[in-house]
A and B are shown apart, each in its own frame.
Chain A
Amino acid sequence: MDATIQMMIQGYIDGLESMNTSDESIKQEIEDYKKELLSFAETQNDAVTFFTKFQDSGLMAKYMDLSSKITMGTQTQSQASSASGKPTVTPEKWLEPFRTAYNYIKNLPIRERGLAVYRKLFEIGEKHSDITEFLLEVEKENLLWKLSSEDAIGILNITYTGMDFLYKGLTYPIRKNIEAWNNSVCEADAHYLQDCLAEDIAATPPRLLQPEKYVNNLGLHIMIYRGPKGKEGIMEMIATGNCPKPAFIGNASNMAIAKLQARRTMEIIKKSVGLSFDDILADEFLRYKLISTSNVCGLSKAYVQSNPNIIDLMADAFKNEIMTDISLLEAIKREPSLKLGRWRMPEDREVERAQEIARDTFKNLPYFKYEDQLKGNSFHIGSGDGFEIKPF
């Protein structure tokens, strides 16, 4: 299982396990959910798209339902105790399962926001010997609901720190989820907001990703025109004197086809999303979608790629060659005036080095701190369920 996915699902499982419930049917639901979640996670290889797929699968909504059900169940029990006026229930006794849950998760930084609610609950518990007075203060701050909502917000916030903030199509579901949990005051309220969100999340991120798809296509055509299968391939053949005619003609034909295709794609981009080439270059996120990149850290937190100056080479080729009537011969003749240098794709060892650099840069972010904490530790999901996540 992908390490990042492993970390995310562990957060959700810890979340459920920390909320003690005496309700046997809910306990069974938790066990079933854990199995379903693990089966789903095993089928996912891409941490970047995991969260969206997690949403789409309905497992996120189910998680919310379950956690809410546990919290509301606890609340109903406490209210019954309160109304009955039975002297046996004291805040200290009532808080026992919460202390157990707290001890279970207290060393997990990803849960800090939820842990703060537990601590607040304990603090109030120490002030009161009477259960009704205690619950009154707890209700004034809606703490029982916050055990669920703050915990979820905390996990989502930490997940967010592992993302590329400019990647709106990716961050949108997380940001909207945080908003929904923040705006909810109880389980049914959260349930409603999640239902509204489900439609929004199905509709909006793909729309946000549409320009990226077009720009990917455009970049591919420019790269074929400009790169080793086109212009640069020809220049290398001439420079090294190794100039077989079929390969030479093949590259020249690629230049010609790519020129036509790039022009057409640019026209489609203008018509479809109203962007000019300069708009693409000016967009900090989109300009790098012109080239091939690979995620090397977290949820698209860092990428390995060719030198960014390649964008200048591509922009020059697009503006001064592809979109003009300059001949293929003239296109090569003008090359020395550019003096932008040559470029190459990253090699395997450089991909590894990029991973190291990225990890070192972001090591203090909560997402990566949590990931580091899991490293080397085999941790158990629940008890007696037969599932164990191995160290990665």
Chain B
Amino acid sequence: MSGIKTSKELYGLYVHRFANCPRTPYQAEYYKKWLDLLESCSSNEEAEAKSKENGLYTAGAAAVAMDRVFASKLAAEERGWTDVAEFCNDVLQKIKADPYYTFTHTGMWDDIQAKKDKWIRTIEGFHRLFSDFIEYNDTKSDPEKTVAAIVDDLKMLSKPSSDFATLAALPKFRALIDCNDDIYKEFTDTVIKASTTGRLEKIQWNIESYQNEIEELWEKRNTLEDECRQWYSQEVMPPCVRLSPESEDGKYKFIEIK
């Protein structure tokens, strides 16, 4: 049976691990208290008895929960998710005041997650709006469909603002979209126009300049018989299965399906 010396060494390792991780101050503190306690005792039994007296014996779960909340707070602060950070801070204070808070308020994890989700969904919504724009801007052939999609996707925006123009002006949101400033302006103008007027321009593809060519093709179709028969007599290439490469810089392999 090992003695208190081994326990000290073990708790020293715990302190080392958690103190070296910037996300775990509460567990670092918890294990440091244990280590200090062990340092002041001559046996494990004595340390256990004292830990029960000072509440340290049962404080581990709260330390784990607090670090988890703290980690969320830290990530939120770094991303500017102010409401999430404030909420996490509030939860931390509640756990500090009541170590059993995490057991009596299990819904708090979902509450934190729900607040984070709003930020994530806003980014997703912004991307979806750009996809709507790509589809529309390509041929501008189905504006009604685009307007409906834009109106729907705007509902995903909420953090830091539900206003598209406000978001579009933020560097963080500009960085989400790979395009030059002209295209970005077209994108934002399109979304704003669709959401404020409910209408977008439709392109009528004007092929009048091709009418003569089309007529010429019809009139001279019989002169193309040789060319077309030569093409038609060519072998039909079989379809293939395309196999992905073995590495990220590899090439696809093709196998003809016969």
Q: Chain A: residues with CB nearer than 8 A to chain B?
A: 25, 56, 58, 61-62, 65, 69, 72-73, 76, 79-80, 82-85, 87, 130, 132-133, 135-136, 139-140, 142, 163-167, 185-189, 191-192, 195-196, 198-199, 202-203, 206-207, 210-211, 213-214, 217, 234-236, 238-240, 243, 245, 248-249, 252-253, 256-257, 259-261, 264-265, 268, 271-274, 284, 288, 293, 296, 300-310, 327-329, 332-333, 335-336, 339, 341-347, 350, 353-354, 357-358, 361-362
Contact = CB atoms under 8 A, between A and B. Distances in A.
A333 B235 contact: no
Nearest to A238: B228
Contacts of B205: 257, 260-261
Contacts, number: 324
A195 B72 contact: yes
Contact of A198 (B45, B60, B116): B116
B185 to A, nearest CB: 11
Nearest to B211: A256
A85, A206, A213, A304: most-surrounded residue (chain B CB, <10 A) = A85
A79 B254 contact: no
10 contacts: A165-B247, A195-B75, A210-B134, A213-B134, A236-B232, A239-B229, A256-B213, A257-B205, A302-B243, A335-B230
Contacts of B27: 186, 188
B251 interface: yes
B148 interface: no
Contacts of B222: 238
Given A87-B1, A306-B240, A307-B238, A207 B17 contact: no
Nearest to B182: A271
Given A135-B10, A332-B227, A238 B221 contact: yes
B18, B207, B222, B228: most-surrounded residue (chain A CB, <10 A) = B228
Interface in B118-152: 119-120, 123-124, 127, 130-131, 134-135, 137-139
A189 B225 contact: no
Contact of A243 (B21, B43, B138, B221): B221
B246 to A, nearest CB: 8
A305 B217 contact: no
Interface of B: 1-2, 6-7, 9-11, 13-14, 17-18, 20-21, 23-24, 27, 34, 38, 43-45, 47-48, 51, 57, 60-61, 64, 67-68, 70-72, 74-76, 78-79, 103, 106, 109, 113, 116-117, 119-120, 123-124, 127, 130-131, 134-135, 137-139, 176-180, 182-183, 205, 207, 210, 213-214, 216-218, 220-222, 224-232, 234-248, 250-252, 254-257
A272 B221 contact: no
A187 B24 CA distance: 9
A132 B213 contact: no
A327 B213 CA distance: 6
B67 A188 contact: yes
Contacts of A238: 221-222, 224-225, 228
Given A192-B23, A265-B138, A271-B183, A329 B242 contact: no
Given A203-B176, A271-B183, A308-B254, A132 B74 contact: no
- Closest 9 CB pairs between A and B? A85-B44, A195-B75, A307-B237, A239-B232, A188-B67, A256-B210, A346-B239, A192-B71, A164-B244
A234 B217 contact: yes
Contacts of B113: 58, 61-62
Contact of A191 (B68, B176, B238): B68
Nearest to B114: A58
